[in-house]
Structure 1
Amino acid sequence: MPAAGRMIVDLAGLSTGVRVELGRLSRRYVLSVGALGLVAACAPDAPPPSFSPEVETPRATAAPSTSSAPVVVRGGPVPFTPGRAMLGSYSALGGKSLTQSLALRRKQLGREQRIVHRFYPWDGFVPTSEPEVAKSSILMVSWHGAPLAAITGGSADGLIRSVARKLKGMRRPILLRWAWEMNGDWFEWGGSPELYVKAYRRIHRVFGDVGADNVAWVWSPNWNSSPDTPANRIAKYYPGDSYVDWVGVSGYNFFGESPSTLFSRVIDLYGNRKPVILSETAAVSDKAGYIKKLCKWVDRTPSVGAVVWFDTDIQDGTTNNFRFDTDAAALSAYREMARSRRFSG
């Protein structure tokens, strides 16, 4: 989630607008560096790009792959469809419940959100269902991290099992994005790749023991690292192919960054092995231009299987407004993207 001021997220499962403060993130905001790209409209009738991943391997719950060859998993319980990309959002519009926010977008776009993004606290309320999210939509859960030593030492196993049972009990495919943006210095779980990998694998193993087979695992770094040092490189935090179904990435157009600037590094590292989800993206200015560039970039990047817009004007302590309907040009560009063949997934 973008920074500058405090990060506020909804307490998932509630439609009353209750939110939880997760801490200051100002460092992340100032790290963005401008880079302009070409503006190009996304052609609604463009042919889908080709992408031929390797044969899917069986899902593993305990041991990482020992092979040095790339292992491509087609999204696990949330399948990746070559040539198609799912388009969804984190929807939290000022003065509206989740149901009202989704209804407005359905009216504007003429379609449901293919992915609905929700934030769950580490040890707070986690729902047993999400009735506001349409059955035709995929639920993406960003589950807040915690001090890593508590996880690796086993004292959090009971909590992890409880959350695993609740997500399993939802009986719907779920994209689980635990402890995102771990390569940044704005969360308490950042800065220790070895501990992060151990914690991620332990959580994965506990979910496997519970039998939460409806959960697809999204490993989701930020597009750039802070601090930008060899010890804090994105790849240091990767838990292994057997633990990841989708590779996610957060990247915001704060200062004119192009989609290539924001996302190509992750595509270069993992796009030939895993489907990629742009798990958080948005723009603060020239939204129409950014949306057109984004659509064109996704058109020519076949490993991208999903884009999730951070659709909110609620961020305490900042003037950031990420809604895509702040002006007619932006809404038109987003509607065109939503109706394009590439985003018919």
Structure 2
Amino acid sequence: MQWVWAFNNGSSPDAPYNDPAHAYPGDRYVDWVGIDGYNWGFGPSWDPTGDHWTSFDATFAAAYAKARDVAPNRPVMIGEFASTEDGGDKARWIEDMDAKLSSGAYPDLKLLTYFDVTKEEPWSPTSSPAALATFTSWTRQRYMKGRGHDLARVAGDYACSRVPTASF
């Protein structure tokens, strides 16, 4: 069993007291640091008049830096992420994400989980033929490797405690 401590890519309200670092329980209890974030596009339900289209880097760079500052000895995962079609080009967003990830800008990012659901927005990569083709191509990149059993080894590479963090 491995434990994930996760936070959203932005705090609301964005105030010093609401800094996710204040909630970090410490390396003794955490195997992974997770970040959740979305490209909401134009007109999300919580702000229908706003334009919230953000690139992958604009969505995650500051949160990734926060994760490295708070827990430099832990691998990072993006536990939930997705882009909407509304307000931009999802296929282009995925291409830009691929370019950023393959550039090495996020060296400790070891796991990504795409939120494949149509909920508040059309998050699924099947929301358009172009998005699906680009998403499929992205998942075949060389840096996209490993499956479940490989993940157990990643956290160990980051000096995780060999002592169980919990017992039942």
State the TM-score, normalized to the length of structure 1: 0.35
SS in 2 for 1:248: strand
- Taking the TM superposition and a 5 Å limit, the aligned residue runs for 1:222-261 are 222-254=8-40, 255-261=52-58
Q: CA RMSD in A?
A: 1.4
Q: Deviations over 1:119-146 (max 9, x none)?
A: xxxxxxxxxxxxxxxxxxxxxxxxxxxx
Q: Deviations over 1:268-306 (max 9, x none)?
A: 133342211111111111211111122222222111101
Q: 2:4 aligns with which of 218, 238, 247?
A: 218
Aligned to 1:290: 93
SS in 1 for 2:99: helix
In structure 2, C-alpha distance between the alignment counterparts of 1:252 and 1:269, rounded to whole Å = 17
In structure 1, C-alpha distance between the alignment counterparts of 2:37 and 2:96, rounded to whole Å = 14
Q: Deviations over 1:245-279 (max 9, x none)?
A: 11111110112212222212232133342211111
> Quick check: 1:273 aligned with 2:67?
no
- Taking the TM superposition and a 5 Å limit, the aligned residue runs for 1:99-110 are none
Question: How has the CA–CA distance of structure 1 residues 339 and 298 changed in structure 2, closer, same or farther, with 3 Å as cutoff?
Answer: same
Aligned to 1:340: 141
Q: 2:59 aligns with which of 262, 268, 273?
A: 262
In structure 2, C-alpha distance between the alignment counterparts of 1:244 and 1:293, rounded to whole Å = 31
Aligned to 2:115: 310
Aligned to 1:132: none
Q: Deviations over 1:16-40 (max 9, x none)?
A: xxxxxxxxxxxxxxxxxxxxxxxxx
Aligned to 2:159: none
SS in 2 for 1:290: helix
In terms of fraction of residues, the more helix-rich structure is 2
Q: Which has the higher contact order (CA 8 A, sep 6+)?
A: 1
Aligned to 1:321: 122
Aligned to 1:126: none
Aligned to 1:168: none
Structure 1 residue 344 displacement after superposition: 1.5
Work out the number of aligned pairs and report it.
127
- Taking the TM superposition and a 5 Å limit, the aligned residue runs for 1:69-108 are none
Q: Answer whether contact 1:267 1:303 (CA < 8 A) is retained.
A: no
Q: Answer whether contact 1:284 1:321 (CA < 8 A) is retained.
A: yes
In structure 2, C-alpha distance between the alignment counterparts of 1:281 and 1:223, rounded to whole Å = 10
Aligned to 1:61: none
SS in 1 for 2:78: strand
Q: Which amino acid aligns with 1:258?
A: S
Unpaired segments ≥5 residues, structure 1: 1-214
SS in 1 for 2:116: strand
Q: Deviations over 1:148-193 (max 9, x none)?
A: xxxxxxxxxxxxxxxxxxxxxxxxxxxxxxxxxxxxxxxxxxxxxx
Q: Which amino acid aligns with 2:14?
A: D
Q: Answer whether contact 1:220 1:249 (CA < 8 A) is retained.
A: yes
Unpaired segments ≥5 residues, structure 2: 41-51, 147-168
